[in-house]
């Protein structure tokens, strides 16, 4: 906590969020809790971030409030912005 210039309580809250997200797991060893990063979860997250980063924006789409993808295939929700796609129930 000192190295990060945060309180132990703040570190605990951040670790709780990471644990609830499945990014770390904790093992109690005596008085201390030891955390392990779930690398496979991080790899999956990195893959999803790469996918999102590769999405091509249509010129002016965000300014017009439109979905940022040009095709939705046959899905009822856009997989990117999660807006309902017109014509699907």
What are the structural domain ranges in the chain?
8-53, 57-89
Q: Is the dihedral of CA 49, 55, 59, 64 positive or negative?
A: negative
Contact 7, 15 (CB under 8 A): no
pTM of the shown model: 0.58
| C-alpha to C-alpha distance for 72 and 86, rounded to whole angstroms | 10
pLDDT tens across the length of the chain (89 residues)? 889 999 999 999 999 999 999 999 999 999 999 999 999 999 999 999 998 888 777 777 767 766 655 454 444 555 555 555 444 43
């Amino acid at each position: 906590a000192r190295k990060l210039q945060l309180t132990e309580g703040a570190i605990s809250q951040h670790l709780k969020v990471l644990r609830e997200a499945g990014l770390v797991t904790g093992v109690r060893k005596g008085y201390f809790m030891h955390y392990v990063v779930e690398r496979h979860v991080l790899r999956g997250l990195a893959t999803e971030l790469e996918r999102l980063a590769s999405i091509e924006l249509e010129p002016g789409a965000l300014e017009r409030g439109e979905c940022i993808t040009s095709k939705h295939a046959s899905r009822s929700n856009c997989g990117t912005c999660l807006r309902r796609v017109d014509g699907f129930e």
